[in-house]
Structure 1
Amino acid sequence: MQNLKKMERFFLRISEEKFHLLKSILEGYDNMGVLSSWPEKHGVIVIRFAPGCKREILELLGSLSKILKKH
């Protein structure tokens, strides 16, 4: 649990149907990030990642933005 506190994080709203897709992609990039959902906030997710991965996470999210978009 201590390591999670050291990680940076992004809060995003995505299409709920795309949660598992994004989780698989993040895990496929050698566990680039840890994805969690907030059940009470439909479509809100948290991506936790090591401080040195911020640029890579932003680039990945930018390339997936149209796919993950919540309508």
Structure 2
Amino acid sequence: MSVPTNCTIHRFLMDPIQIHYLRFVLEAYEGMAILSTIDRKLGLVQLNIAPGCERDLDAILHQERKFLKYRPIDIENRPERPARSGEPAGFM
């Protein structure tokens, strides 16, 4: 089995107030994932997960799911439409 060389990317909608909490949790696991905020008002975030860390990160997210109240989204495969005020282009 070959070792993956690219990051896995996941996007989530979550309570904007909880973004900082998730960031602190991820910082405790140095090098596992990088959290980027795409839209802080909507709570739209992106996780860039280091190769080989997907299972560990899934376990962490599963453990914190009730507190974070996140939901995964896929904005790559959605049809484009004009953005409304306060949301990124293509977001539905």
TM-score of the superposed pair, with normalisation by structure 2: 0.64
After TM superposition, which residue ranges in structure 1, 4 or more long, deviate above 2 angstroms? none
Aligned counterparts of 1:34 and 1:7: Cα–Cα separation in 2 = 10
Alignment of 1:17-32 (within 5 A): 17-32=17-32
RMSD: 1.6
Query: 2:81 corresponds to which residue?
Result: none
Task: Using CA pairs under 8 Å that are at least 6 residues apart, name the structure with larger relative contact order, 1 or 2.
Answer: 1
In the TM superposition, what is the alpha-carbon distance from 1:41 to its structure 2 partner? Answer: 6.9
How many residues are paired up?
65
Query: 1:68 corresponds to which residue?
Result: 68
Q: Structure 1: which 5+ runs fail to align?
A: 1-5
Aligned counterparts of 1:44 and 1:18: Cα–Cα separation in 2 = 11
In the TM superposition, what is the alpha-carbon distance from 1:50 to its structure 2 partner? Answer: 1.2
**Are 1:14 and 2:7 counterparts?**
no
Query: 1:49 corresponds to which residue?
Result: 49
Q: Would you tell me which structure has more helix in proportion to its own residues?
A: 1
| 1:51 alignment partner AA | P
Aligned counterparts of 1:46 and 1:36: Cα–Cα separation in 2 = 5
Decide whether aligned partners of structure 1 residues 69 and 40 sit closer, same or farther in structure 2, where only a CA change above 3 A counts.
closer
- Say if 2:37 and 2:46, in contact at 8 Å, map to a contact too: yes
Q: Structure 2: which 5+ runs fail to align?
A: 1-5, 71-92
SS of equivalent to 1:31: coil
Identity of aligned residues (%): 29
SS of equivalent to 1:9: strand
Larger radius of gyration: 2
